[in-house]
Structure 1
Amino acid sequence: MAQILAPNMQCQMKLSKSLTNSMIPNSWTSILLKGSQKGSIKCSTKFKVCAALKTEHGTVNRMEQLLNLDVTPFTDKIIAEYIWIGGSGIDLRSKSRTLSRPVEDPSELPKWNYDGSSTGQAPGEDSEVILYPQAIFKDPFRGGNNILVICDAYTPAGEPIPTNKRHKAAEIFSNPKVASEVPWFGIEQEYTLLQPNVQWPLGWPVGAYPGPQGPYYCGVGADKSFGRDISDAHYKACLYAGINISGTNGEVMPGQWEFQVGPSVGIEAGDHIWCARYLLERITEQAGVVLTLDPKPIEGDWNGAGCHTNYSTKTMREDGGFEVIKKAILNLSLRHKEHISAYGEGNERRLTGKHETADIDTFSWGVANRGCSIRVGRDTEKEGKGYMEDRRPASNMDPYVVTGLLAESTLLWEPTLEAEALAAQRLSLNV
Structure 2
Amino acid sequence: MTEPLTVQAPLTVHVPLDGGRAYDILIGRGLLAGAGARVAALEARAAAIVTDETVAALYGETLRESLEAAGLRSGIVAVAPGEASKSYATYAAVCDGLLAHRVERGDLVVALGGGVVGDLAGFAAATLRRGVRFVQAPTTLLAQVDSSVGGKTGINAPLGKNLIGAFHQPRLVLADTAALDTLSEREMRAGYAEVAKYGLIGDAGFFDWCEANWRGIFRGGPERDEAVAICCRAKAGVVVRDEREDGERALLNLGHTFGHALERLTGYESARLVHGEGVAIGLALAFRFSARLGLCPGQDAGRVANHLALAGLPTTLGQVPGGSGDADALLDAMAQDKKVRDGALTFILARGIGRSFIAPGIDRAAVRDFLQDELRLG
TM-score by length of 1: 0.24
Higher RCO, 1 or 2 (CA under 8 Å, sep at least 6)? 2
Structure with greater helix percent: 2
Structure with greater strand percent: 1
TM-score by length of 2: 0.26
